[in-house]
């Protein structure tokens, strides 16, 4: 197990560290009198256990423990202090143990044994939960699969059965009224017949979710239905939650952002043309595009041209009507003296905007392109950031 110690008394800290290092299967990653330094290591490294003194400078150990557990709920806390009266606060935080100084070797062994049992239990629970997780892909295409299993693909009785399931999943945990469902799925069907088709479709959905174990529960509610999920991992949720929890985009966390962006593989339910999914698809697309543009910009600032071009290209391939990405590529190619590439990118932008939106490029892009064509050699020697800055002058 990996442990970190935080105590304001250096002598006590050294003695405690020495005792722990003599024990089997214990790896002390650091011992700190400064709680901020200790917290930084705990949050950055794979730490299993934090031994905290109650009385530390700046804030008490209980407050520090609360902060640590907010960031890492899996962290195991053990309090070490000379003040026994704080035990109640410690166990309110579900600390595994509370050791009163001076700590004897046998007492410390008992604590380590208790921590090891807790770790084994946590790992077994995590393994069992991961095996039972149903993974749902809603970006680009719809897929269902379990961790470590190569199940037969789900067979949907009709396309309406599949669409209704996705509509209920889209609104999971909330009621979807029958009238709303009929309006979306059978708008031109006579009411009585539409109701009959709805009941039949719901029946087929119930049969499908029975094959998936206890991951989905479909319940009737007043004039509608509600779908509940259990141990279901949805890719777009994972992606959005991950990027929302990341700190502001900077050079040191670019890799974390790139890893998170993999979870959104394409537009929400891209392979389907569901009217009710359009607004969510547009919202998620806008979010992905903005983050991708920010990543490209950050690489620009760091002088990593190849990565900046890669991200702008990726945006253009996925969303051909994103003018800013095309414009960024045009400026990069102009800086590198690749005239044919600039022309190609501009013409691609013109064609994409016409086909996708029926509009022409923005006036500042057209003006920049015309200015570049009339003076290519000067652009070739200009600094890339100067070229990028011209967007503000021309807008």
- Start-to-end CA distance of the chain, whole Å, equals 58
| Pairwise CA distance, residues 214 & 233, whole Å | 14
| Each residue's pLDDT tens digit, 220-231 | 888 899 999 988
Q: What gap in Å lies between CA 35 and CA 65, rounded to an integer?
A: 11
Convert the pLDDT of each residue in 16-45 to its tens digit. 888 888 887 788 999 998 888 888 898 888
Query: b or e along 134-145 (b: 16 or more beta carbons within 10 Å of the residue's beta carbon)?
Result: bebbbbbebebe
The span from the CA of 116 to the CA of 102, in Å, is 22
Instruction: Say what the pTM is.
Output: 0.64
| pLDDT value at residue 395 | 41
320: three-class secondary structure by DSSP: coil
Hey, what's the torsion of the CAs at 349, 354, 357, 359, to 10 degrees? 90
Give pLDDT, residue 350: 97
The pLDDT of residue 386 is 44
Which distant-in-sequence residues (6+ apart) come within 8 Å of 25 by Cβ? Answer: 1, 116
Decide: 203 and 156 in contact? Cβ < 8 Å: no
pLDDT averaged over 10-residue windows placed end to end, the chain, 395 residues: 89 88 87 88 88 76 82 85 59 71 84 83 58 86 68 82 96 93 95 95 93 89 90 91 86 87 92 93 96 95 93 96 96 91 96 94 94 77 45 44
Q: Bridge-partner residues for 144, per DSSP?
A: 136
Burial 355-365 (b: 16+ CB within 10 A, else e): eeeeeebbebb
Which tokens belong to 150? 């190569």
């Amino acid at each position: 197990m990996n442990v970190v110690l935080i105590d304001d008394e250096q002598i006590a800290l050294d003695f405690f560290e020495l005792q722990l290092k003599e024990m089997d299967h214990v790896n002390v990653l650091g011992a700190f009198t400064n709680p901020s330094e200790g917290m930084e290591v705990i949050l950055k490294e794979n730490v299993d256990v934090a031994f905290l003194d109650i009385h530390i400078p700046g804030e008490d150990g209980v407050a520090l423990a609360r902060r640590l557990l907010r960031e890492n709920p899996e962290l195991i806390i053990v309090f070490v202090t000379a003040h026994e009266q704080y035990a109640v606060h410690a166990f309110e935080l579900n600390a595994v143990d509370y050791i009163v100084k001076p700590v004897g070797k046998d007492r410390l062994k008992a604590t380590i044994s208790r921590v090891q049992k807790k770790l084994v239990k946590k790992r077994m629970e995590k393994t069992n939960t991961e095996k039972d997780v149903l993974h749902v892909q809603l970006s680009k295409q719809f897929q269902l699969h379990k961790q470590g299993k190569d199940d037969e693909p789900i067979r949907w009785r009709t396309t309406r059965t599949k669409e209704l399931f996705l509509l209920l999943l889209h609104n999971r945990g909330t009621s979807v009224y029958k009238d709303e469902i009929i309006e979306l799925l059978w708008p031109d069907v006579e009411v009585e017949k539409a109701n009959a088709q709805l009941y039949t479709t719901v029946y087929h959905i119930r049969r499908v979710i029975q094959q998936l174990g206890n991951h989905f529960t479909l319940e009737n509610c007043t004039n509608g239905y509600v779908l509940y999920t259990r141990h279901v991992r949805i890719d777009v949720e994972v992606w959005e939650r991950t990027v929302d929890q990341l700190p502001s985009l900077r050079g040191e966390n670019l890799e974390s952002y790139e890893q998170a962006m993999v979870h959104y593989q394409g537009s929400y339910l891209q392979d389907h043309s569901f009217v009710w999914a359009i607004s969510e698809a547009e919202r998620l697309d806008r979010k992905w595009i903005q983050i991708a543009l920010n990543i490209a910009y950050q690489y620009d600032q760091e002088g990593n041209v190849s990565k900046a071009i890669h991200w702008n290209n990726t945006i253009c391939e996925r969303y051909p009507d994103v003018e800013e990405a095309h414009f960024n590529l045009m400026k990069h190619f102009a800086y590198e003296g690749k005239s044919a590439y600039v022309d190609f990118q501009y013409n691609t932008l013109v064609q994409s905007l016409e086909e996708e939106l029926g509009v022409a490029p923005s006036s500042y892009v057209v003006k920049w392109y015309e200015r570049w064509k009339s003076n290519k050699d000067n652009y070739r020697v200009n600094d890339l950031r100067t070229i990028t800055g011209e967007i503000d002058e021309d807008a």
